[in-house]
A and B are shown apart, each in its own frame.
Chain A
Amino acid sequence: MNFDWGAIAANAKFLLVQGLLGFGVYGGGTLRLAIPAILLGFLVGIILGLARLAQRPWIHYPAVVYIEFIRGVPLVIVIFYFWFLVPVLIGRPVPEYWVALTAFVIFEGAYIGEIIRAGIQSVAKGQVDAATAAGLNYAQTMIHVILPQAVRNMIPSLVTQFIVLFKDTSLASIIGMMDLTKAAQTVSEREIKPFEMYLFIAVVYWCFTYSMSRFAQWLEVRMSPEKSS
């Protein structure tokens, strides 16, 4: 077979502007989904992680059940749940974008929550005792002592999770949201150039995820205590 560069050149604008950025008649867009999903998922994750560490059982156990349930179920199932449930709950059809965003935040929140929990638990217990002895209350201990150290420990896992989330946004194409994958699907059905189209978007995804993982490596070196002290 001959590799058809022309097909890529002719459709690159549609794939990147509509599929990746989400500007165009279809809405959607990989980045327009990924960025809010990362921010909101992080927020939900912090709440879940702290809830799982809480002493009170009525806060602790719901968080445990939530996290363990979500982590045992594929993302596609969660997306389909929301696809069918949200319209029933609010009584009208919902655009794919909002269904996908809700599902991602709910799903990734559980994974990020686990990272937050592990990060907080990685801080030596003596630190809490020392902070308490120095007269800090719970909130002060968290904000001034535990979290700064915990965040440093969780940065590599967090960035890895953000990379996973970025790749996972491709699943929004299953419910018909026009993201990079859906755009490639549309074009390859029209042009009958699946090899070129999927390889092209593979490279586009790769550029983002690989630079994120390099950034994570750089951050890890920069933030390691051996270097900063």
Chain B
Amino acid sequence: MFGFLGMTYEFKWSVLWAQPHLTWLIDALLTTLRLASISWCIAVLLGIVFGAMRTVPFRPIRAIATFYVEFFRNVPLLVWLFFWYFGAPEVFPEVIRQWFIRHGIEFWSGVAAVSVYHGARLAEVIRAGIQAIPKTQLEAGLSSGLSVVETYRLIIIPIALRLIVPPATNESLNLLKNTSLAMTIGVSELTFAARQIETYSAKPVEALTAAAMIYLGLCLLISSTMNWIEGKFAIPGLIARGARAEH
């Protein structure tokens, strides 16, 4: 029990493993992971494409990428969620809209919003990584007979990927945490389940703590894994371990 100024709050942690609450939490965790991993894959793809495009010595391509990055990362994710869920489906023809409605439009709007928003943020991380590579590497690649695409694929991107592990991990954790906003459009992910348990049991602190602990555990798991990866794939002599780039 916990009281303050005459109000009391009775803790009852057992609401978390009482059915159906436990099933909700587990299903919600799976939804969160599914939402986060699908969005992450698309975001990484967008980030690599647009991040690389921002460094290409051809102005129109750079301009397109700059527009994408600056517009999407500077608007709150919540606004994008509402836009993709309420606004964007209007634009599509009826057939496509019906297909989306049958296949869980909340989830896919969530995927669209999270991946496009974080794709723009990841593009910035990747651009910084590419620009940290000396220009001579590109020139050396071109002069040894590789095409621009080959130079990027074989030299620039493999090095840049290693340079960006710390900031990209940070960004991936932000993506994971930001999937919680998908509750606002009705995706039954972790935060949504916490609210649902709270509504059914009137035990907000327990339900929110459970969700918070799951997020915290996931974040710790990811950051320690990425630390290990960073150490394993570090290029000797290029990246000093421990000297991390600030985002």
A and B part of one assembly: yes
Interface residues of A (CB under 8 A from B): 1, 69, 71-77, 80-81, 84-85, 88-91, 115, 118, 157, 160, 163, 167-171, 173-174, 181, 184-185, 188, 194-199, 201-202, 205-206, 209-210, 213
Whole-angstrom distance between the alpha carbons of A188 and B181 in the complex? Answer: 19
Give every chain B residue within 8 A of A157 (Cβ-Cβ).
246-247
Report the 5 A-B pairs with minimum CB-CB distance, sorted nearest first.
Answer: A194-B86, A84-B204, A195-B87, A170-B76, A74-B180
Known A209-B74, A213-B74: A89·B247 in contact at CB below 8 Å: no
Known A73-B212, A88-B7, A91-B4: A185·B82 in contact at CB below 8 Å: yes
Whole-angstrom distance between the alpha carbons of A185 and B68 in the complex? Answer: 24
Give every chain A residue within 8 A of B71 (Cβ-Cβ).
206
Whether, in the assembled complex, B169 has its beta carbon less than 8 Å from a beta carbon of chain A, the answer is no
Interface of B is mostly: helix
Whether, in the assembled complex, B91 has its beta carbon less than 8 Å from a beta carbon of chain A, the answer is yes
Contact of B78 among A84, A170, A213 (CB under 8 A): A170
Whether, in the assembled complex, B137 has its beta carbon less than 8 Å from a beta carbon of chain A, the answer is no
- Cβ distance B39 to chain A, nearest Cβ, rounded Å: 14
Whole-angstrom distance between the alpha carbons of A168 and B117 in the complex? Answer: 14
Known A72-B219, A167-B76: A210·B70 in contact at CB below 8 Å: yes
**B: contact size bracket:** 35 or more
Whether, in the assembled complex, B83 has its beta carbon less than 8 Å from a beta carbon of chain A, the answer is yes
- Cβ distance A219 to chain B, nearest Cβ, rounded Å: 16
Known A72-B219, A74-B177, A77-B194: A198·B79 in contact at CB below 8 Å: yes
Contact of A195 among B77, B90, B204, B220 (CB under 8 A): B90
Give every chain B residue within 8 A of A73 (Cβ-Cβ).
177, 212, 215-216
Give every chain A residue within 8 A of B78 (Cβ-Cβ).
170-171, 173-174, 181
Known A88-B7, A202-B83, A206-B74: A72·B205 in contact at CB below 8 Å: no
12 residue pairs from A and B, CB less than 8 Å apart: A72-B173, A74-B180, A74-B215, A76-B191, A80-B191, A81-B208, A84-B205, A185-B82, A194-B83, A194-B86, A195-B83, A195-B91
Known A77-B191, A77-B194, A118-B246: A194·B74 in contact at CB below 8 Å: no
Give every chain A residue within 8 A of B194 (Cβ-Cβ).
77, 80
